[in-house]
Structure 1
């Protein structure tokens, strides 16, 4: 079995950011992503998923390291000032490099 190093970028943000975030993912060259509805509690209190417009989403995207750097840089510059959001990357290994 041969695996290939890539990055998993996880973004947790308010649902209002979904459309511009999806445009950004396409713009930086992500080939696909997964979106989850999520809820939880943090520094600013509890965030529930009972009202769709005020819910949080979690977006996971697997990309090459250069794409991860570009994505995180643009999130910090363009999205952090406008939306409630956290983002992080994780080193992972995949079996089918051509998918990412």
Structure 2
């Protein structure tokens, strides 16, 4: 299985979750994060300017589809980073 991690502006959370549903993801985990990088510092104390991290475990083909859609639909216009990693899932029937 693949774990896809998306870190983006909090205003995108609902749009990303809609995309997850479109591609058939069964669930996700989301939480507010803070940090610094190319776009400067991001703080979690103001919801409108905070970042959110969304983690999803998917089959490899779905992860590829998700990453393609994120790149196509969001990367040019929004502060967003996404990456995938291999994971071993002990309850694969949940995904």
After TM superposition, the score normalised by the length of structure 2 is 0.96
Return 5+ residue gaps in structure 1 as ranges. 1-5
Partners of 1:53 and 1:31 lie apart in 2 by 27
Equivalent residue in structure 2 for 1:72, among 67, 74, 77: 67
Structure whose CA Rg is larger:
1
Equivalent residue in structure 1 for 2:19, among 5, 17, 24: 24
Q: Secondary structure at the match of 1:93?
A: coil
CA RMSD of aligned residues (A): 0.7
Matched length: 95
The residue correspondences of 1:78-93 to structure 2 (distance < 5 A) are 78-93=73-88
Q: Deviations over 1:57-83 (max 9, x none)?
A: 000000000000000000000011222
* Contact 2:5–2:56 (8 Å) recurs in 1: yes
Return 5+ residue gaps in structure 2 as ranges. none
Hey, which of these two has a bigger chunk of strand by percent? Answer: 1
Measure how far apart 1:26 and its partner are.
Answer: 0.3
